[in-house]
Structure 1
Amino acid sequence: MTPTMPIVISATSPTSAEAKDVSLRYYEDIVGRYHGRPASRQETLAAQAGYPSDDLVVPLGILLLARQGATVLGCAGMRVRPGDIGEVTRVFVEPAARGKGVGRLLMKELEGKSRELGLDALRLDTRTDLVEARSLYASLGYIEGEAHNTDPYANHWFRKELA
């Protein structure tokens, strides 16, 4: 029996090949789930273009990848916002890796990196159909509250104090 390789979480540039690949899979997943069918290439690229990621670099933000060996299992990003708040974005776990704690590892590391950047709280938005995400956020202590943006695809808004 071969031992399982550990899952490693590390920061990466949003312009790296790995980040671009996982970002594309993220958009394919969320656009497809929104429409209830596989997303077309055009729909995926249009959604991706509407949410640029060039600011997911320190000191403006961060992008984390979860890897097991050479395989990217998922990602999570954060943008620094006024008032020492971080806005979580792009939380994604590959379908084959779901239910194995990858999302929790990504979020815990994102919280730690956000504290290192001096942030006091994290906030995020998500959709009603992303049931697993909402469950994860609640289990990590994120509290659902009032809207903090007008994103037309957001139905739920969460916040967690980091202090």
Structure 2
Amino acid sequence: MTISTPRTSDLWAVSRADVGSAEAQALLREYYSDVANRYYRLHLGRDCTDEEIESGLADSPSDDLAEPTGLFLLGRHGGEAHSCAGLRIRDADTVELTRVFVRHARRGTGGGGRLLAAVDEAARSLGAERIVLDTRLDLVEARALYARHGYREIPAYSSGPYAQVWYGKDITAPATGRDMAE
């Protein structure tokens, strides 16, 4: 007798969400705290203060990740929100991926791959043919995730204190089964 158990990635579901919702705001705060603390530890040898987190969130709002300028996705694992990603419309053919986050406790369960497959589908639904993003060099796990899902380094398209490496992905072809399974 063979007993089949679902893959942990099968427990993930990703859907559009209101970026202003309590769930979205909680994940965005956790995302910002995570990347800011990592930066502060690397460059300043300390964690961010609550005031620095609040200031950073105010200086980098996410309200453009809603119609008509973008959209926001929440990933749920076992019904509870544990990941997020935003798409910002740059032009008729290009969207920018931002605010990609999977809670530490759910990393390694396929959530990042499910999230990026949903990003591709959502970008296509906006009429985009290309996704671009910028990130920091020290976010090596995120950079590896992007590379596994077809993103390649491209010339800089933006500037900012945290934009150190830029990626792009052509999404004119539909996602493969491999993209959905990772």
Assess same fold via TM > 0.5.
yes
Q: Deviations over 1:65-103 (max 9, x none)?
A: 111234221100000112420000000010111122211
Q: Judge conservation of contact 1:28–1:38 (CA < 8 Å) in 2.
A: no
Cα distance in 2 for residues equivalent to 1:98 and 1:118: 30
Counterpart residue number, 1:8: 13
Structure 1, unaligned stretches of length 5 or more?
none
Q: Which has the larger radius of gyration?
A: 2
Aligned residue in 1 for 2:121 = 112
Displacement of 1:144: 0.3
Read off the aligned partner of 2:60 and give its amino acid letter: Y
**Cα distance in 2 for residues equivalent to 1:59 and 1:101:** 30
Taking the aligned partners of 1:129 and 1:93, their CA distance within structure 2 comes to 17
- Normalising by structure 2, we get a TM-score of 0.84
What does the per-residue CA deviation read over 1:30-53, in whole Å, with 9 as the maximum and x for residues that have no partner? 000001143221111111112111
Residues in 2 aligned to 1:87 and 1:54: alpha-carbon distance in whole angstroms: 14
Count of residue correspondences: 162
* 2:163 match: 154
Given that 2:92 and 2:127 are in contact with CA atoms closer than 8 Å, whether structure 1 keeps it comes out as no
Q: Distance in 2 between matches of 1:52 and 1:107?
A: 22
Query: How do residues 112-151 of structure 1 correspond to structure 2 at under 5 angstroms?
Result: 112-151=121-160
State the match for 1:97 in structure 2: 106
Gaps of 5+ in 2: 173-182
TM-score (norm 1): 0.93
Post-superposition Cα deviations, 1:88-139, rounded to whole Å, max 9, x if no partner, equal 0000010111122211111110111111111010000010110000001111
Give, as a single letter, the amino acid of the residue that structure 1 aligns with 2:64.
Answer: D
Alignment of 1:14-53 (within 5 A): 14-36=19-41, 37-53=46-62
